[in-house]
Amino acid sequence: MKKVVYLLAFSLLLISCGEYQKVLNKGTTEDQYKMAVKMYEAQKYGKAIRLFEKITPSYRGKPQMERIQFMVANSNFNEKSYSLAGYYFDRFTQNYPKSSKKEEAAFLSALSYYKAAPRFSLDPTDTNKALNAFQKFIDENPNSSKIAEANKYYKEIRYKLEKKSFEIAKTYYRTADYDTRNYKAAIQAFDNLLSDYLGTEFKEEALYYRFKAANDFALKSTKRRKEERIKEAVTAYQKLKRNFPESKFMEDSNEMLAELQEEQKQFAKI
């Protein structure tokens, strides 16, 4: 009995595959559309995509195109082609702004870019697209049932980008012993972090390392530039103290400040 069932299932599979190939290669546009929908509903997304790619030119400007575009985007999402899915969902929202599926497509576009994004230390292109897409979704759909989920993803992505920016700045600082030009690069990178991400979780540590970089840069400078750079380092210290008077870095910072002030006294004597 089991053998009969297996043989029947196998025969149906062969017939189904044969029917699909026949429609794919020789079917009319209408037959291919029907088969594409059938494959989509059967969750055979790869096969559906192949058929949708063939029929898309014929359906441009027709009522079916709205449904086709959404199914193409969703098929790519389910096939884990997330960058493509993000692009197609975004295009759907632009092409069909009055569609009942616009909100769903906008959320799935952002989610697609989120899933396509690598860990923070790699190329942030999809990460930035996800951040912008979730921000746009939140702004345009404040009452959506997906708003809490969108906010969660937005905060997670923002943190990822902040961390990347912070780690880049710290890398410049850590390598400045080998190349003093990296002190300036570190200071600029910390400034960029603080201006690009107001209220960042890394603010206290960023201000400390910015001061530390300015301090080291000043003390290692030539006499011609040292006095000016000491003033800049003291300003960096004041900013840290003003924002975080009880900072865990204050003891170390006070010691660095004292050394800077001693250097200033030497310039005052001169």
pLDDT digits (tens, 9 = 90+) for 216-258: 999 999 888 999 999 999 999 999 999 999 999 999 999 999 9
pLDDT score at 43: 96
Task: Give the residue ranges of the chain where pLDDT is below 70.
Answer: 1-17, 119-123, 269-270
pTM for the model = 0.80
pLDDT score at 2: 56
- As a three-state string, the secondary structure of the chain is CHHHHHHHHHHHHHHHHHHHHHHHHHCCHHHHHHHHHHHHHCCCHHHHHHHHHHHHHHHCCCCHHHHHHHHHHHHHHHCCCHHHHHHHHHHHHHHCCCCCCHHHHHHHHHHHHHHHCCCCCCCCHHHHHHHHHHHHHHHHCCCCCCHHHHHHHHHHHHHHHHHHHHHHHHHHHHCCCCCCHHHHHHHHHHHHHHHHCCCCCCHHHHHHHHHHHHHHHHHCCCHHHHHHHHHHHHHHHHHHHHHCCCCCCHHHHHHHHHHHHHHHHHHHHC
